Amino acid sequence: MFASAESAPARRGRPGYDRAQVLAVAVELFNEQGYDATSVADLAQRLGLTKSALYHHFDSKEQLLALALDEALSGLEGLLDDPAIAGAAPADRLAGVLRGAVLVLVDRLPYVTLLLRVRGNSDVERAALERRRAFDHRVTQLVAEAQSAGSVRSDVDGAVVTRLVFGMVNSIVEWYRPGGAIDRDRLAHDVVTVALDGMRTR
Amino acid sequence: MFASAESAPARRGRPGYDRAQVLAVAVELFNEQGYDATSVADLAQRLGLTKSALYHHFDSKEQLLALALDEALSGLEGLLDDPAIAGAAPADRLAGVLRGAVLVLVDRLPYVTLLLRVRGNSDVERAALERRRAFDHRVTQLVAEAQSAGSVRSDVDGAVVTRLVFGMVNSIVEWYRPGGAIDRDRLAHDVVTVALDGMRTR
């Protein structure tokens, strides 16, 4: 817990922060004004803590970035290892991964938003890009497997279509707002339906 | 034509620029370093022209932005009014618009990239966002029409699916490089195939 560094009476009732809460505020700030443009002083000010109170609990701004990116990446990576998904036929695994990716994006929206903005400006960012590439590679392999099994059409380029479909999923960060009119399960349903079966009736 | 403002012998053989070439270099620079961070002096330097030579041919940096955004938007808007598309059945019009949008994106990649980064920081940017919204609205109406006609499935939210499918198209700017291994017509085929008929075989 970060205890509040201020003890003015008006603030006495305010609770301290645990690490997850500090991380959430940091990610909010990184998304608002950019990671590079955000200082530890900015974060301390937003939280109403001193810089030294913050440094008592984490080593650096970069550590917060690493934890935030891991929050997004571990959610995505977990889908490929999920026993409920891993045992299914290729096209069903693909459906499970797509559905899961939408839910990870919606449930960890600020973390995934931050991940999608990473451009490789530091070792932490390059490691995150490497994990994204490894995830994409595993999904591309899954699509190739489904093409070999005859459950995904072979008249499209598997690697291109994997990029397109994840481009569709990732574009959700541009407009989705939690608590809005669009339910997360309904959204996941629409993504899986279009990606696997298309908009057209037959 | 912008004639080169410099007359040093070593540069004498360099041709001047026409408006389209100046615009192309401006867009390249806006995409590299951000529109707000790019000055007319930066652009003049990149072109090897004086600022006054540039101002002889356009009024302001903002006019270049407006022309660049119009280049992307008019390409997209033209699809909805294309007689070859407008006369077809709803699902075929949708296929024509999607295919055309991919080709506009690939053929005018720097212009569309710039358009997709616009956040509404000025009147020119707000007008461009308004035209994007109007385009999206017309495509959403086309999807609704196709749903009414029974050619697009009604178990998905038409407005959400329109966003998803254009999210897929727009994501192409993140990775497509002209002259690379992926042919534009093949890419357009894969987008239309997945969006309308899905990845799954049946």
Tens of pLDDT, residue by residue over A77-118, are 999 999 999 889 999 999 999 999 999 999 999 999 999 999
Q: How confident is the model at residue A202 (pLDDT cuts 50, 70, 90)?
A: confident
pLDDT average, residue stretch B38-48: 95
DSSP 8-class letter at A201? -
Is the same domain home to A32 and A99?
no
CB B61 within 8 A of CB B121: no
Q: Considering its fold, how many domains does chain A have in total?
A: 2
User: CB-based contact (8 Å) between A134 and chain B?
Assistant: no
Same domain, B100 and B37: no
Q: Are B71 and B147 part of one and the same domain? A: yes
SS3 B2: strand
pLDDT in the model for residue A16: 77
Q: Residue B80: inside a domain, yes or no?
A: yes
Mean pLDDT, residues A158-178: 97
B159 touches chain A (CB under 8 A): no
Domain co-membership, A100 together with A40: no
Q: Is the pLDDT of residue A28 over 80?
A: yes
Task: Please tell me which residue of chain B has the smallest CA distance to A92.
Answer: B200
pLDDT, residue A56, reads 81
A10 confidence band (pLDDT: 50, 70, 90): very low
More confident residue, B142 or A9: B142
Side chain identity at residue A48, one-letter code: G
Q: Is B183's pLDDT higher than 80?
A: yes
Residue B41: pLDDT over 90: yes
CA atoms of A63 and A31, how far apart (whole Å): 16
Answer whether residue A184 is part of any domain.
Answer: yes
Q: How far apart are CA B92 and CA B192, in angstroms?
A: 10
Average pLDDT, chain A: 91
Chain A: residue whose CA lies nearest to B174 = A167
CATH number of the domain enclosing B170: 1.10.357.10
- The interface predicted TM-score of the complex, written ipTM, equals 0.89
Q: What does the pLDDT read at residue A79? A: 97
- pLDDT at position A14, please? 41
Whether residue A156 and residue B94 make contact (CB cut-off 8 A), yes or no, is no
* Residue B200 backbone phi and psi in degrees, to 5: -80, 140
Residue B196 has pLDDT above 90, yes or no: yes
Residue B175 placed within a domain:
yes
Within-domain flag for B123: yes
Q: What is the CATH number of the domain that holds B44?
A: 1.10.10.60
Q: What is the mean pLDDT of chain B?
A: 91
pLDDT tens digits for A67-81?
A: 999 999 999 999 999
Q: Which of B105, B112, B133, B164 to mutate to test the interface with A (most CBs of A within 10 A)?
A: B164
Residue B87 shares a structural domain with residue B177? yes
Residues B107, B124 within the same domain: yes
- pLDDT of B7 > 60? The answer is no
Q: Is residue A4 part of a domain?
A: no
Residue A17 φ/ψ, nearest 5 degrees: -115, 145
Using pLDDT thresholds of 50, 70 and 90, give the confidence band for residue B17. confident
**Whether B199 and A157 lie within 8 Å, measured CB to CB:** no
In a domain, A175, yes or no: yes
Whether residues B78 and B42 share a domain: the answer is no
pLDDT exceeds cutoff 90 at B9: no
- Which one of B174, B175, B194 has the shortest CB-CB distance to A198? B194
Clarify whether residues B46 and B145 are in a common domain.
no
- B2: in domain: no
Q: Are residues B114 and B67 in the same domain?
A: yes
Task: Report whether pLDDT(A172) > 70.
Answer: yes
pLDDT for residue A1 is more than 50: no
Contact (CB<8Å) B171/A174 = no
Residue B92: closest CA among chain A residues belongs to which residue? A200
Q: How far apart are CA B125 and CA B112, in angstroms?
A: 13
Instruction: Kindly state the average pLDDT of the residues A107-130.
Output: 97
Task: Please say if the pLDDT value at position B12 is more than 80.
Answer: no
- The answer on pLDDT for B4 being more than 70 is no
Same domain, B101 and B36: no
Whether residue B31 is found in the same domain as residue B74? no
- Is the confidence at residue A133, as pLDDT, over 50? yes
What pLDDT does B202 receive? 79
Q: Which of B58, B74, B93 is the last residue of a domain?
A: B58
Summarised one tens digit per residue, pLDDT across range B78-124 is 999 999 998 899 999 999 999 999 999 999 999 999 999 999 999 99
Type and span of the H or E element at B66: helix B61-81
Residue B85 contacts residue B141 (beta carbons within 8 Å): no
Question: How much is the pLDDT for B86?
Answer: 87
Cα–Cα distance for residue pair A108/A112, rounded to 1 Å: 6
* Cβ pair A168:B168 closer than 8 A: yes
Range of the domain at A52: 9-58
Q: Which of A6-10, A18-22, A68-72 has the highest mean pLDDT?
A: A68-72
- Is pLDDT at B2 greater than 70 in this prediction? no
Domain identity same for B47 and B89: no
Residues A199, B163: C-beta atoms closer than 8 Å? no
Yes or no, beta carbons of A160 and B201 under 8 Å apart: no
Best residue in B199, B201, B202 for a mutation probing chain A (most A CBs within 10 Å): B199
The proportion of chain A whose per-residue pLDDT surpasses 90, expressed as a percent, equals 83
Within a domain: B1: no
Which among B88, B29, B91 is positioned nearest to B54, based on CA atoms?
Answer: B29
Least confident of A9-13, A144-148, A171-175, A195-199: A9-13
Distance in Å from the first CA to the final CA of chain A: 57
Say yes or no to pLDDT of B152 above 50.
Answer: yes
